[in-house]
Chains A and B, each alone.
Chain A
Amino acid sequence: MDNAKVNLRGKDVLALADFTKEEIQVILESAKEMKNIIHRDIKKVPALRGKSIVTLFYEPSTRTRSSFELAGKYLGADVVNITAGTSSIVKGESLRDTLYTVEAMGVDAIIMRHKAEGAAEYAAKVASPVIINAGDGAHAHPSQGLLNLFTVLEHKGHLEGLKYAILGDITHSRVARSDIQGMRKMGVEVHLAGPKTLMPRFLFEEEGIVVHDNVEDAIKDADVINVLRIQLERQKAGLFPSPREYARIYGLNDKRMALAKDDVLVLHPGPMNKGLEISPMVAYGDHSAIQEQVQNGVAVRMAILTHALTGGNKA
């Protein structure tokens, strides 16, 4: 494998399906270096000095937006935030025109969160700055997929052959899709469980992806368990009977944790509904890497920005 040849400069980051194993590896390697920067007293390097980045968020977000913003700032870029509620988007401006406006200001990258699946692909077709998808509907959230890979790699030392379980609402989850794409590229076996009403009917007719009828089978001997956020409005939409029953049958608790490997790692993309999809004991327990994911998120996003904007010259 020749990672030296990988050059991601100018590449839109839309979905992990568009990335090769080597490209993912290169980003993960850089993220390791970036993490060291976050631990420094003076967290500022000039890698992206003179670059300008806009975060364009059509949906509320705390961690992803601030994570990207800090990543850009630690690397010396200028970062401006646009949110849908406080911009001309409320005046009915089309996505194309908003992108043109931002582009005309000379930005190098647009980090976009949007509730429509495919919005990032559309943006990449329309606008010339690098588009980084910070989540588009249920479609993709590539930086989350990469930070999950990075977190697992840090803990396990390798990825190939691991058993990775994803629990919960697969249908509506861009995190699940990005995980599936990223993990499969890196040779990780993906096991899924959740209510069948929240499991796409035709998704996993693919090698290395196993859909289970119950949570116990999915987490048996798992190296990693990623617990997805369950949105309470899914219950109102008739997709499961009650939060109580969900927690009992699909929630991750200590008893179920015992089925996994002794050194199992627990992930959650946040924000959590403690007592619903995950018990507080598990969320704050020894196996939880949930806080660490947040820090790794910044490191991985620094790596993504560096590669997409400069081709990955040393920070």
Chain B
Amino acid sequence: MKTLIKGGRVIDPANNIDKIADVLIEDGKIAKVAANIKSAADEVVEADGKIVCPGLIDMHVHLREPGQEAKEDFASGTKAAAAGGYTTVATMPNTNPVVDTAALVRSLQKRAEEAAVVHVEIIGAVTKGQKGEEMAEMGDMTAAGAVAFSDDGHFTKSAKVLLNCYDYLRAFDKVIINHEEEPSLVDEGVMNESHRSAMLGMKGRPTVAEDIAVYRDIALAEYADARVHVAHISSARSVELVREAKKRGVKVTAEVTPQHLTMTDDMVELSDSSTKINPPLRQSKDVEAVLAGLKDGTIDCIVTDHSPHAQEEKDREYIYAPSGFPGLETAVGVLLTDLVDTGKLDIVTMISKMTAEPAKIFVLNAGSLGVGMPADVTVIDPELSWTVDEKKFYTKGSHSPFVGRTLKGKAIKTFVDGQLVMDNGEILEV
């Protein structure tokens, strides 16, 4: 089986490619990337005016299995991923039960084989039950194929526990992804602590809660000479802390979400819980700082923090609604519209942060159009204008703050291992 994607702008940051070229897929692998490939293909995809890039990677999603299938499952979540142009997603372990054993990792891999339309990587818990007390069996989970470890959603309260985990994990060369908010400062908080929260009488989640958490976890990683990945960074000071640490040679990496790159706490409306996320939407100085950090390499990758909840969970009083919203199906459109089209971010950097860079940090066999690589390929139409409509989402989640926005740019084809799984927004049954 040969598929030829013809005449697109091929952006493949892993191989320093940005040129008009054809991509030839053969038997599920990348066979060739060159101008005017003459080959008798079974399928020819005309990609004139389109962007052809490695399949997008999202290292921070919540597919909610096991135990929270009302919010999302592997089928709905990975369809949402394919619809958004993603070919690899890594799912967080804050499920019920928490994914903290090799048996659970293997069972999820099995579920992925049955139900997923894109590649699913499993992130294991750092501590048992994500309680921050006893170390989870990270060695066994590594052997079972866990891609990284995280107590996402929780901050590891004990510095000693985290230091032990850093030390222990060095033998396995895996990364810990830390949710950075010092809990005593964000207790009951529902939005950024700012003028807006003060006016609304809402309890705040101050930037300093993130900053001291980032500082502590970097300091511990530096002390232990361990690797640490800062999840969904959102504050200006935290970006500065990561930048300084990288300069010192600390093995720290960081990720940011489209929402933290484009939205501020002024957008919080009491009647709509869609803007309720952790860490919260910050202020414009923070938005500018995370964007600057993304551009200068302080922040390594873009993730969605796709956090779907059931409609009835989000549809309630703002302060009682759970945090998070589904982001897989809107990320490309939001980034292209608000950052690339406005000239704030170049598209090559954007794609690099969603392909080559996460692949490098998490050592994935993905994120590149190099010959012999799995043919995970995304075709993006940068001109396609579309309106975000929840009814068309594949995710079970609702309450996206982007609903109703008209965006310019969308993934129109997603290939996983050479197989077309999404075409013009429709998931193909394979």
Digitize A154-176: 1 where CB-to-B-CB distance is under 8 Å, 0 elsewhere: 00000000000000000011100
Partner of A174 from B194, B197, B201 at Cβ < 8 Å: B201
In the complex, which of the residues A116, A122, A124, A200 contacts B198, with contact meaning CB atoms closer than 8 Å? A200
CB-nearest residue of chain B to A170: B198
Interface presence of B27 (CB below 8 A): no
**A95 at the B interface (CB under 8 A):** yes
Closest A-chain residue to B272, C-beta based? A125
Q: Are B198 and A117 in contact (CB under 8 A)?
A: no
* A177-B201 contact in complex given A118-B270, A125-B272, A201-B193, C-beta closer than 8 Å: yes
B198 and A121 form a contact (CB under 8 A): no
| CB pair A124 B271 closer than 8 Å | yes
| Cross-chain contact B316 with A118 (CB below 8 angstroms) | no
* CB pair A202 B193 closer than 8 Å: yes
- Cβ A114 vs Cβ B201 within 8 A: no
Which listed segment binds B: A61-69, A133-141, A287-295? A133-141
What size tier do the contact residues of chain A reach?
20 to 34
Report whether B270 and A139 are in contact in the complex, using a CB–CB cutoff of 8 Å.
yes
With an 8 A cutoff between CB atoms, is A49 at the interface? no
Residue in A118, A125, A172 whose CB lies within 8 Å of B200: A118
**B202 interfacial by beta-carbon distance below 8 Å:** yes
CB-CB contacts below 8 Å: B270-313 with A: 270-272, 312
- Pick from B194, B318, B319: contact of A202, CB below 8 A: B194
Given A94-B312, A94-B316, A96-B316, the answer on whether A118 and B271 have CB atoms closer than 8 Å is yes
The complex places the Cα of A139 from the Cα of B202 at a distance, in Å, of 7
Interface residues of A in 79-136 (CB under 8 A from B): 94-96, 114, 116-119, 121-122, 124-125
Interface size on B, residues (CB 8 A): 21
| Main secondary structure on A side of the interface with B | loop
A139 to B200, CA, bound (A): 5
User: Quick one: closest B residue to A204, CB to CB?
Assistant: B198
**Does any Cβ of A come within 8 Å of B338's Cβ?**
no
Bound: A253/B228 CA distance, A: 56
Given contacts A94-B316, A118-B318, A203-B199, 4 further A-B contacts (CB under 8 A): A116-B320, A138-B201, A139-B201, A200-B197
The reply to whether B315 and A117 form a contact with Cβ atoms under 8 Å apart is no
B48 located at the interface, meaning its Cβ lies under 8 Å from any Cβ of chain A in the complex: no
CB proximity of A166 to chain B, nearest CB, Å: 14
Question: Hey, which chain A residues are within 8 Å of B199, CB to CB?
Answer: 17, 177, 203
State the CA gap A201–B200 with chains docked (Å).
13
With the chains together, A96 CA to B272 CA distance in Å?
Answer: 13
Cβ distance B316 to chain A, nearest Cβ, rounded Å: 6
- In the complex, A233 has a CB within 8 A of chain B: no
Q: By the criterion CB–CB under 8 Å, are A202 and B195 in contact?
A: yes
Task: Report the minimal beta-carbon distance from A133 to chain B, rounded to whole angstroms.
Answer: 11
Distance in angstroms from B121 CB to nearest chain A CB is 36
**What B residues does A139 contact at CB under 8 A?**
200-202, 270
Is B201 in contact with A140, judged by CB distance below 8 angstroms? Answer: yes
A116 to B321 CA separation, bound complex (whole angstroms): 11
Q: Which residues of B contact A117 (CB under 8 A)?
A: 200-202, 270, 318-319
Say yes or no: is B317 at the interface (Cβ < 8 Å to chain A).
yes
A121 interface neighbour in B194, B270, B312, Cβ under 8 Å: B270
Q: Pick from B193, B202, B271 the residue with the most CB of A within 10 Å.
A: B271
Answer whether residue A207 sits at the interface, using C-beta atoms and an 8 A cutoff. Answer: no
Q: Which residues of A contact B194 (CB under 8 A)?
A: 202
Say how far B281's CB is from chain A's closest CB, in angstroms. 15
Tell me the smallest distance from the CB of A200 to a CB of chain B, in Å: 4
**Nearest neighbor of B320 in chain A, beta-carbon distance:** A116
Task: Give every chain B residue within 8 A of A177 (Cβ-Cβ).
Answer: 199, 201
Query: Interface 1/0s, chain B 176-216, versus A by CB < 8 A?
Result: 00000000000000000111011111100010000000000
